[in-house]
Chain A
Amino acid sequence: MDLLTAIEASPLATFLRESTSVWAYPTVLMLHTVGLALLVGLNAAFDLRLLGVGRGVPLDALETWFPVMWIGFWLNLVTGVLLFATDPIRLGTTTIFFSKLAIVVAGVILIPLLRRAVYGRVAGQAPAIPPLAKVYALLSLVLWTAAIVTGRFMAYVSEIA
């Protein structure tokens, strides 16, 4: 609890929380949403492709999406840490925050697994979709949807609980 108090009182957290500048809290929150759109958006489109949507899209061309997903991830890790720092005592003591953290960790672990399941084969061969990749895709869709649900509900949990 001391750690959470220290984080809440830190100059950076205080600045982000109390500054009226649009470049403080609003911009960090906006960038977190941009990262969400990149990470979850591309992930969802990729998962849907594996699950049978848009079969005409050649899978080997979509491997370029993974670096963009990672950009979204790093953006959201940095902005997520900053957002947590503005309100650590409330967030650090709620189940929903740790639920989101666990869901995101699981989702992130799935990213390289998904990539390897689809592309980890002899180069130059047109990849067929292995059943394991479809399982990962479905799990990934469920996890990232859950990450959005828990993430959004974090904002309301003190009002509801």
Chain B
Amino acid sequence: MEQLKAWLDALLASVSWDESLIAFLHGSALGQWVVSGQWVWPIAETLHFIGLALLIGVIAPLDARLIGFMPRVPIAALHRMVPFAIGGFVLCLATGILFFVGTPEQYIPNESFWLKALFLAIAGANMLAFELTQRSRAEALAPGIPTPRAFKVIGSLSLVSWFMVLYWGRMLPFAVGASF
């Protein structure tokens, strides 16, 4: 993790477009709106946390089921709750974009942000892998049958990567220079 952070630091230091991007976002109407209204940020943060609870609350039981817990619950039934997780994710993504556009200078040089984005990408790719390669097998798996290894791997990776998304998101304000 330390090596990864050092590598990210070096990468970020080499990026020269960040100043113009920050200036562009600051000048945008959306960026202005996010930081000018005193209620915009707190309300967006609140929605971000509600989205977080929905996302984790639906995905964590599904992951636990894929790993092998609650064997009597049909995976297909848990999977039907995924639209709520997607709704939670969209809420988080939309409010996350507001934070980024409002104060890009707190995110672009912040390695917690890039680590969060990295684990978000891993979680997304993992979810896509499940949907594309395991979905039909999961729907067909009868309750009480032990889950195949691929399910356990995908479920574990999902749990770990979503936890890391939450972890690095929570660490965002503690980066040097951040003030939110």
Binding site for B on A (CB under 8 A): 22, 25-26, 29-30, 33-34, 36-38, 40-45, 48-49, 53-58, 60-62, 64-65, 144-145, 148-149, 151-153, 155-156, 159-160
Contacts and interface: CB of A to CB of B under 8 A. Distances in A.
Given A30-B167, A57-B81, A160-B38, A40 B73 contact: no
B46 interface: yes
Given A41-B60, A58-B73, A151-B49, 4 more contacts: A43-B57, A149-B50, A155-B42, A160-B39
Contact of A45 (B46, B57, B70, B72): B57
Interface string B163-178: 1001100110010000
Interface of B: 38-39, 41-42, 45-46, 49-50, 52-58, 60-61, 69-70, 72-74, 76-78, 80-81, 84, 163, 166-167, 170-171, 174
9 contacts: A37-B57, A41-B52, A42-B57, A56-B74, A56-B80, A57-B73, A57-B74, A58-B72, A153-B42
B150 to A, nearest CB: 22
Contact of B57 (A44, A54, A64, A149): A44
Main secondary structure on A side of the interface with B: helix
A156 B54 CA distance: 23
A64 B70 contact: yes
Contact of B46 (A55, A62, A152): A152
A156 B39 CA distance: 9
Contact of B53 (A29, A40, A54, A62): A40
Contacts of A156: 41-42
Contacts of A22: 171, 174
Given A37-B52, A61-B73, A53 B81 contact: yes
Contacts of A153: 42, 46
Contacts of B72: 58, 60-61
Contacts of A152: 42, 45-46, 49
A29 B174 CA distance: 11
Q: Identify the interface centre among B49, B57, B167, B174: most chain A CB within 10 Å of its CB.
A: B57
Q: Identify the interface centre among A45, A56, A62: most chain B CB within 10 Å of its CB.
A: A45
Contacts of A155: 42, 45
A149 B54 contact: no
Contacts of A36: 49, 52-53
